[in-house]
Amino acid sequence: MGWMEGFPPPPDKLITQPDSNFFSFPKLRWSVCHLREFLPTEEISRGTGAPVPLEYLPPAEFADMRQAIDALNFMPMNGEEEMTWEESLYANYTDGMLVIHEGRVVYERYFGCLEEDGKHAAMSMTKSVTGLLGEILVAEGLLDDMLLVRDIIPEIGDSAFATATVREVMDMTTGVQYSEDYSDPNADIWLYSAAASPLPKPEGYDGPNGYWEYLQQVKPEGEHGAAFHYKTINSDMLGWIISRVTGKAVTELASERLWRPMGAEQDAYQTVDAKGVPFAGGGISAGLRDLGRLGLLMLNEGEINGARLFPAEVVQKIREGGDPSKFGGFPTIPGGSYTSQWWVFHNDHGAFAARGVHGQTIYVDPTAEMVLVRFASFPQAQNGYIDPTSLPAYQALAEYLMSK
């Protein structure tokens, strides 16, 4: 779209930090690839060793496969006309798409602001990295998920989180007051964003400073364990818990347990608040292929490149999912559930996913031995708008790959 092109860019194509709309459409089509230019970040290091290359189909087969996949037809949810796979990529404002089948990359494309050596905002897929780290600690006996939050974080005080269990935080079944309606200018998400901003607070601001200060003043709403409510503050509460029990920031732990040993080809980075606390609920930006490696780890239950990085029970627990009877309000995922910060579809293929606003996903289909990673910059935040032309496409692709 011409954003930030030229030396200097023309005024109508300039995106700067003072611009409060730098992450709104259409500017987000550029800013999703450039978050570190707007906000301070902390590195998730891949280390200094050589990356472990992903395996690809031979070039001729790869070209043929891309052509066949692009032409693949599917019926969108409640649709009247079929759509091709390639048409869905454009309809969904796709910035990057990677598909791995039976251990080999069979499809890879880049659009918009993203190139193969670029990094893209993962948004709430960050939650799934946080949840995965938490589940690893539980499996290894370093974290008791039945403890109350106040048993680990005494500073949580009288916050509604104090009497929730770690498991309720991990599964987002806490009874806490927080609205994440992006369309409501008065929703709590914007108060949380103000607290989390690393920029100097405006004159007269007397609210909390940073993620953890915000968590200390959260009020109760409903009963812990009664129902699933998608609320990002749970992810940052889990991030605090993880940091306390390990003595390490979530960025350092992600580097040690995931990025370095899985042979990542790029460092990732994670935004931080004014006190240097990483945003455990949505701050990661990473390369498309490295999230493919993360998807392979989930598909292969903790193994990659012939090495085991964490116990198989970690992924087995996530694949079991949460209680579907507590999961509601997501009509595009009927019968689904949520556990350990992962979405579980409970479909015939046993698929599960990391998901983020504006169309980010790592979709794992164990039956088809398929991992799909998509980066996107869809105009609207909620995935309910993009699922109708995405989830049926993923299922159609899985079935096609299995037929081959």
pTM of the model: 0.97
Tell me the DSSP string of 191-239.
HHHHHH--SPPPTT--S--SHHHHHTTPPB-S-TTS-----THHHHHHH
Q: Find residue 271's DSSP bridge partners.
A: 41
Region 34-125+250-403: CATH code: 3.40.710.10
Buried-exposed string 177-214: b where 16+ CB fall within 10 A, e elsewhere? ebbbeeeeeeebbeebebbbbbeeeeeeeeebbbbbbb
Angle between helix axes 233-246 and 125-139 (nearest 10 degrees) is 40
State the maximum Cα–Cα separation within the chain, in Å, rounded to a whole number. Answer: 63
88-124: pLDDT as tens digits: 999 999 999 999 999 999 999 999 999 999 999 999 9
Tokens of 389: 């032309």
Residues of the chain with CATH 1.20.58.710: 135-239
DSSP 256: I
Region 135-239: CATH code: 1.20.58.710
Tokens of 249: 């920031």
Can you give the pLDDT of all 404 residues of the chain as single tens digits? Answer: 899 999 999 999 999 887 768 889 999 999 999 999 999 999 999 999 999 999 999 999 999 999 999 999 999 998 889 999 999 999 999 999 999 999 999 999 999 999 999 999 999 999 999 999 999 999 999 999 999 999 999 999 999 999 999 999 999 999 999 998 877 888 898 899 999 999 999 999 999 999 999 999 999 999 999 999 999 999 999 999 999 999 999 999 999 999 999 999 999 999 999 999 999 999 999 999 999 999 999 999 999 999 999 999 999 999 999 999 999 889 999 999 999 999 999 999 999 999 999 999 999 999 999 999 999 999 999 999 999 999 999 999 999 999 98
Length of the chain measured in residues: 404
Amino acid at 393: A
Q: Find residue 364's DSSP bridge partners.
A: 352, 371
Amino acid at 223: E
Residue 9 to residue 3: CA distance in whole angstroms:
8
Residue 43 to residue 36: CA distance in whole angstroms:
10
Residues of the chain with CATH 3.40.710.10: 34-125+250-403
185-208: pLDDT as tens digits: 888 988 999 999 999 999 999 999
